[in-house]
Amino acid sequence: SSVPDLLVAEGRLGVRLGEEPGEARAEFERCVAEVCAGHPWLREHPATVSWPGGQFASGRLPEGHPLRDEVRDACADANGWATRPRERGAPYGSDLRLYAGAGIPTLQYGPGDIRVAHSPRESVSLREVVEVARTLVLTVLRTTGVK
């Protein structure tokens, strides 16, 4: 039989809306240290935590900002839908956090399936591209007053 002498576990740590990534990392490290301190073997061989790779802050459209309803209304109207698309959060990192962090009201809206984004199976249907284009054009026309 074989007994490994090292375990490397990798994963991602999500942050709550409004939570600073540094605070989330510090809390995770405190939890790992607490578990190690309470276990006889881990007390002598504590786990170490490192933070390679991408780390993303959260981002959101400010509560009550009209952009959400403007895009939802334009989407339904531009595409002849009886119902507006539903709002939902996303558990992945995106550039939305950069705009939101700079005080620019931002939401994510676009074609495709996030479950296959940046993968070998990534694709976007032409129908979805057209629906999004219609929605964005109508949103711009309505919010800028251009006729």
- Residue 35 is encoded by which pair of tokens? 């578990």
**Using 50, 70 and 90 to split pLDDT, how confident is the model at 28?**
very high
Contact predicate 87/72, CB 8 Å: yes
Domains along the sequence of the chain with CATH: 1-57 (no CATH), 67-144 (1.10.150.900)
**Using 50, 70 and 90 to split pLDDT, how confident is the model at 53?**
confident
Report whether pLDDT(51) > 90.
Answer: yes
Report whether pLDDT(46) > 80.
Answer: yes
Q: What is the pTM of this model?
A: 0.76
**Using 50, 70 and 90 to split pLDDT, how confident is the model at 91?**
confident
Let me know how many helices (H) and strands (E) the chain has, helices first.
5, 0
What is the b/e burial string over 67-103, where b = at least 16 CB atoms within 10 angstroms of the residue's CB? ebebbbbbbbebeeeeeeeeeeeeeebeebbeebeee
